Chain A
Amino acid sequence: MCGTCGCSDTANAVKITDLSTGATQTVREGSILNASRAEQDHHAHDEEHHHHEGDDQPHRHGPGGEIISLETAILQKNDQIAERNRGWFEGRGVLALNLVSSPGAGKTTLLEATIKALENDIKISVIEGDQMTTNDAERIRDAGANAVQINTGAGCHLEADMISDAVKTLDPVAGSVLFIENVGNLVCPAMFDLGERMKIAIISTTEGEDKPLKYPHMFRASELVIINKMDLAPHVDFDEKACLENIKSVNPNADILLLSAKSKDGIDQWLSYLKNQLSS
């Protein structure tokens, strides 16, 4: 649990770095619920949602005091911002994809290969999420796409308000693809909607074929599972059949692609999958 890593801690500042200008801004001093002054102004419209929930609140009288019925989703604030992001993406015709994996599964390498393969075809921008460093956003920029780095500090996942801030900086054009490379973590990002069209889980052959069974929530939340580093499969005794069965057992509806971002084997299927998604 995040009691150890300190997610949502007030001490947890979140920073966004625009790689085209090098400018860094602090978007959040801590938890969204203990928002700083600047952020309260920024999300002033969120506050409005709460005014009308005052006096007409459904309640009944219990033995002592009042029982107030809420039926309030605990992640409501995140979900509201995520829905707004989703509307913005749909309105502008931007395909937003949330890439999730363990650290080192090859998200950034896959993005580099994708950007290079589609450079004359599809405009791509990337939001990079990591606890620290702008290394990944620099790699993306060097590959030829616009990138914004979000550093979550102690946080172990991206949240919807970070995406809404990052998108203002990136300003993705109509008909483009926006990749959101989440913090490498197979647990927490499953729970946080960012407003994406879909989550895409990436596992690599070096991680072992039982990852989907160990982290079922993430694989259940993803519409596409990419098995990366297929070039290494023979060297690490990767059991492809077992891996496919494991994915299907936690998510029978998942699409599955096998590829190697490094050797480019299987990458064409991924590119056509992307193009299909963009046109649908």
Chain B
Amino acid sequence: MHELGLTKNIIAIITEHAKGCRVKRVSLSVGPQACVETRALEFCFDIVAAGTVAENATLEILPASGDTFLIKEFETEEAA
């Protein structure tokens, strides 16, 4: 339902924590009661990530319990 807005939140949080490093993977934990359509999230992710530190990053969605909706972790690229 809010996947575009939520994806913007995700990218904003990642950008804040990545401190300028390129991000190559983002892992989310999403529970069945989170009211989140994961396919819509995947659809939005590439669009919102374009032009940010997370451009071309892969999105991994891990099943979780209840209404869990977390950014579990993210992985940065090796500094050149």
Contacts and interface: CB of A to CB of B under 8 A. Distances in A.
B10 A68 contact: no
Contacts of A75: 6, 9, 69
A186 to B, nearest CB: 10
Given A1-B37, A64-B24, A72 B70 contact: yes
Contacts of B77: 64-65
B13 interface: yes
B4 A1 contact: yes
Size class of the A contact interface (CB-based, 8 Å): 20 to 34
Interface in A65-105: 65-77
A67 B76 CA distance: 6
Contacts of B78: 64-65
B2 A191 contact: yes
Interface residues of B, number: 34
A interface SS class: mixed
A188 B1 CA distance: 7
B38 to A, nearest CB: 12
17 contacts: A2-B4, A2-B5, A7-B4, A8-B5, A62-B75, A64-B24, A64-B78, A65-B79, A67-B76, A68-B17, A68-B18, A68-B75, A74-B9, A74-B69, A75-B6, A75-B69, A77-B9
Interface of A: 1-3, 7-9, 31, 33-34, 50, 53, 57, 62, 64-77, 187-188, 190-191, 217, 220
